């Protein structure tokens, strides 16, 4: 089996992440890979926002403020969870889709392309020895969060990609039998 195929079959998200995260040069390489996501009509729907170091605290404050706007009654535990969420990894990459009007490429296809780009970020980071996890939650669908991150009205969050290095052993991979997911028509 090829090394690449084996790597693809073993991709594994990691929720417990620590330093180091990919540096600027490595991120360039990661985004170059992610931008090779399939893209109908080459609309280039994906972009990425890098949030590292101290800026993660600013993101946490934004998430807490937006939680309060969604739910005035949010308790201290929920507020702390939102505020501390970005500190779960040394680096957060927000993957964004910019939706364009196109006669042949509906918004769904553009979102799918950006989803492939997000997967590309995770794969490319893992290929360099890093680890990551794709997260969303209510904040990812909250227009106030999008505004706070500077997204335009034609843009949406596809996911928060938490990146860093594995803290502890990799979780075991689920046993998946492809025959259960495949039929011949
Ligand atoms: C669109 C999307 C959103 C997700 N949101 C979350 C999330 O908010 N929290 C979470 O723990 N996992 C979330 N996941 C799942 C993880 O990224 C991951 O796939 C899951 O933990 C299974 O691990 P694995 O990818 O190694 O199989 C999301 C996955 C996708 C594709």
The ranges assigned to domains in the chain are 15-52+88-165
pLDDT band at 3 (very low <50, low <70, confident <90, very high): very high
State which of 7, 11, 13, 114 you would mutate to test the pocket of ligand 1, scoring each by most atoms of that ligand within 8 A of its C-beta: 13
Tell me yes or no: is domain 15-52+88-165 CATH 3.40.1350.10: no
User: What's residue 5's pLDDT?
Assistant: 97
Residue closest by Cα to atom 21 of ligand 1: 13
Mean pLDDT (whole number) for 123-133: 98
Rounded to 10°, the helix 107-127/24-34 angle is 140
User: What's residue 13's pLDDT?
Assistant: 97
Residue closest by Cα to atom 14 of ligand 1: 135
Longest dimension (CA), the chain: 55
Answer for the pair 162, 132: CB distance below 8 angstroms, yes or no: yes
Whole-structure pTM value: 0.97
Helical (H) or strand (E) element with 144 = helix 143-148
Q: For 133-148, b where at least 16 C-beta lie within 10 A, e where not — what string?
A: bbbeeebbebebbbeb
Between 122 and 1, where is the model more confident?
A: 122
Residue 83 tokens read as 């505020």
Tell me whether strands 155-166 and 91-98 are parallel, antiparallel or unpaired.
antiparallel
Mean pLDDT (whole number) for 6-13: 96
Measure 102 CA to ligand 1 centroid, in angstroms.
30
* Gap between the Cα atoms of 184 and 106, Å rounded: 28
Mean pLDDT (whole number) for 54-64: 98
Residue closest by Cα to atom 30 of ligand 1: 134
Residue closest by Cα to atom 11 of ligand 1: 135
**Nearest residue to 82 via CA among 102, 56, 101:** 56
* Gap between the Cα atoms of 163 and 88, Å rounded: 9
Pocket, ligand 1, Cβ cutoff 6 A? 12-13, 133-137, 159
Atom of ligand 1 nearest to the CA of 13: 26
Answer for the pair 37, 46: CB distance below 8 angstroms, yes or no: yes
């Amino acid at each position: 089996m090829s090394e690449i195929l084996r790597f693809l079959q073993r991709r594994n998200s990691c929720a417990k992440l620590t330093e180091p995260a990919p540096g600027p040069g490595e991120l360039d390489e990661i985004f170059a890979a992610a931008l090779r996501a399939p893209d109908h009509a080459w609309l280039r729907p994906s972009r990425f926002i890098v949030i590292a170091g101290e800026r993660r605290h600013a993101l946490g404050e934004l998430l807490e403020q937006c939680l309060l706007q969604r739910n005035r009654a949010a308790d201290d535990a929920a507020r702390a969870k939102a505020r501390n969420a970005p500190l779960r990894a040394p680096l957060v990459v927000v993957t964004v889709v910019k939706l364009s009007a196109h006669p042949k490429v509906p918004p769904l296809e553009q979102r799918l392309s950006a989803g492939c780009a997000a997967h590309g970020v995770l794969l490319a980071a893992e290929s360099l020895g890093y680890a990551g996890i794709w997260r969303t939650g209510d904040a990812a669908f909250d227009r106030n969060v999008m505004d706070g991150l500077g997204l335009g009205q034609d843009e949406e969050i596809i996911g928060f990609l938490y990146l860093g290095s594995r803290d502890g052993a990799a979780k075991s991979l689920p046993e998946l039998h492809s025959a259960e997911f495949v039929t011949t028509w």
